[in-house]
Amino acid sequence: MSADQSPSNSQITALQAGLRSPDERRRAESAQGLVRLGHPDAIAACVQTLNDAPDPLHLDITPAVTARGEMGLRAVTALLDPLRSNDEITRLRAQRALEAIVARRHGFRAGKGFPSTAAEEAMRDEWEANGSYDYSENAEARDASLAKWREWLATAKE
């Protein structure tokens, strides 16, 4: 599809149908497709598929984790519930997505890293200022960090 073409209704319908597939790889690919199209359902699709089709060598990474990292701040609010999940792997994957969003804000690009040491330090400072969320901490510590993330999100700019 060229830059001046819009996705057809049939393409969008096919991707939305893919989200209901019994095959987790198809669901994950459908969510990624909606992200690529910038479709309004993309964030919800990534929430739905957060645990689908993990990388066999990196079980904390799924297509939805990767896609969310590229979506920026608009995807953070939808991560707050998975970050509170009772399921540890769901929390870990949501944390990985949040880490990717924060790193990208500071110039990180896959395969290239950070543009400077200062950018990497700024990312780490931002993470620490928001309570250094850790999926493996107790619920009280996670909730305290999430309260800071909510405050930060209210004033953060892309």
Domain segments of the chain as ranges = 9-155
pLDDT at 110: 87
pLDDT at 136: 97
pLDDT at 5: 59
DSSP classification of residue 72: G
| Number of C-beta neighbours around residue 10 at 10 A | 8
Segment-wise mean pLDDT, segments of 10 residues, the chain, 158 residues = 65 96 97 94 96 96 93 92 97 97 94 96 96 96 96 88
Strand, coil or helix: what is 113?
Answer: strand
> Strands, DSSP E only, in the chain?
none
Q: Are 35 and 64 in contact (CB under 8 A)?
A: no
pLDDT at 70: 86
pLDDT tens-digit map of 102-137: 999 999 998 999 999 999 999 999 999 999 999 999
- Amino acid found at 116: S
